[in-house]
Structure 1
Amino acid sequence: MKYSIDKKEKYAVFQLAEENLNSILAPQLKSELVIFANEGVRNLIFDLSQVQYVDSSGLSAILTANRLWKPLGSFILTGVTHPSVKKLIEISRLDSVLSIIPTVEESIEFVFMEELEREINAEDGDQAPADH
């Protein structure tokens, strides 16, 4: 499986450098994602811009990533540009479950916005009076 990962302080961009995200690649992809989650990558931007075909195993890997990152921070799908990939995501109604943002740049801005929101909410939680 070919991919690149660009790790920054607040996020990592995982770009899958494959045309097909299918049953052959999905198990290996899931393993890599578990490793990144365990390494403490808080926000993952998953770039599908080079992917032209996704099957149900590929969707399962994407959903696994979404589930892994829920407690950590944000999971963002970007680069969903190929018509067959876009159509599969829409048909399976994953566009209502996943955070899908058009570009990596916009995804990075989204991560910073969500991080800021989490920090503000954490501060509000610290200052809230205790109800006993």
Structure 2
Amino acid sequence: MKYTVDKKEQFVIFTMLEEKLDSTLSPQLKSELLTVHAEGYRNLILDMSQVKYADSSGLSALLVGNRTFSEDGGIFIISSLQEHVLKLIKISMLDMVLKVVDNNEKAAEAIFIHEIDSDDTKEEE
């Protein structure tokens, strides 16, 4: 699987450089997302601007990423979806579960807001 990883201070931008997210690539994506999380990053932007097709195993990989990053208070954001993949996510009603934004800038803003909200919650406890 071809991809790039851009590590920032507060998050990682993981950009898929493949046109299909299907059963041949989904296990690799899951593994790479778990590796990034194990490196200590809590927040991840998955840039899917190159992905034109996804199937149910691809959606499963997205759910694994969402669960992994959310379980310790982080956030998993999917950015720059192509129309076909966005339709699939909406049809399967995963847009109710997954955080989907138009571009990486909006994703970065969402992460900063999430971090501020997390800090406020910790202070109140």
Interval of TM-score (by shorter of Structure 1 and Structure 2) = over 0.9
Unmatched 5+ residue regions in structure 1? 126-132
Amino acid at match of 1:79: S
% same residue? 48
Map of 1:29 onto structure 2? 29
Amino acid at match of 1:27: P
TM-score (ref. length: structure 1) = 0.91
The Cα of 1:83 is off from its aligned counterpart by: 2.0
Q: Deviations over 1:12-61 (max 9, x none)?
A: 00000000000010111111111111111110001111100001110000
Map of 1:119 onto structure 2? 119
Unmatched 5+ residue regions in structure 2? none
Amino acid at match of 2:78: L
Query: Is 1:74 equivalent to 2:100 in the alignment?
Result: no
Q: After the TM superposition, list the runs of 4 or more consecutive aligned residues in structure 1 that deviate by more than 2 angstroms.
A: none
Which residues of 2 match residues 1-132 of structure 1 at below 5 A?
Answer: 1-72=1-72, 73-80=74-81, 82-125=82-125
Q: Deviations over 1:72-122 (max 9, x none)?
A: 300001111x22111100110011111111110010011001101100110
CA RMSD of aligned residues (A): 0.7
